[in-house]
Amino acid sequence: GQSLEQPSEVTAVEGAIVQINCTYQTSGFYGLSWYQQHDGGAPTFLSYNALDGLEETGRFSSFLSRSDSYGYLLLQELQMKDSASYFCAVQSGGYQKVTFGTGTKLQVIP
Partner 1 sequence: KAGVTQTPRYLIKTRGQQVTLSCSPISGHRSVSWYQQTPGQGLQFLFEYFSETQRNKGNFPGRFSGRQFSNSRSEMNVSTLELGDSALYLCASTGQGADTQYFGPGTRLTVL
Residues that bind partner 1 (CB under 8 A): 31, 33, 35, 41-45, 48, 50, 87, 89, 91, 93, 95-103
| Neighbour tally for 101: CB within 10 Å | 24
Closest CB to partner 1 among 13 and 97? 97
- Minimum gap (Å) between residue 26 Cβ and partner 1: 13
Q: What is the smallest separation between the CB atom of 14 and partner 1, expressed in angstroms?
A: 27
Decide: residue 91, CB within 10 A, 0-12 exposed, 13-18 middle, 19+ buried. buried
Cα(32)–Cα(91) distance, integer angstroms: 6
Distances (CA, A) of 16 to 34, 41, 71: 20, 25, 20
Minimum distance, C-beta of residue 98 to partner 1, in the bound complex (Å) = 6
Nearer to partner 1, 72 or 87 (CB): 87
In whole angstroms, the minimum distance from the beta carbon of 16 to partner 1 comes to 26
Asked if 32 and 76 count as a contact pair (C-beta separation under 8 A), the reply is no
Is the CB of 35 or the CB of 72 nearer to partner 1?
Answer: 35
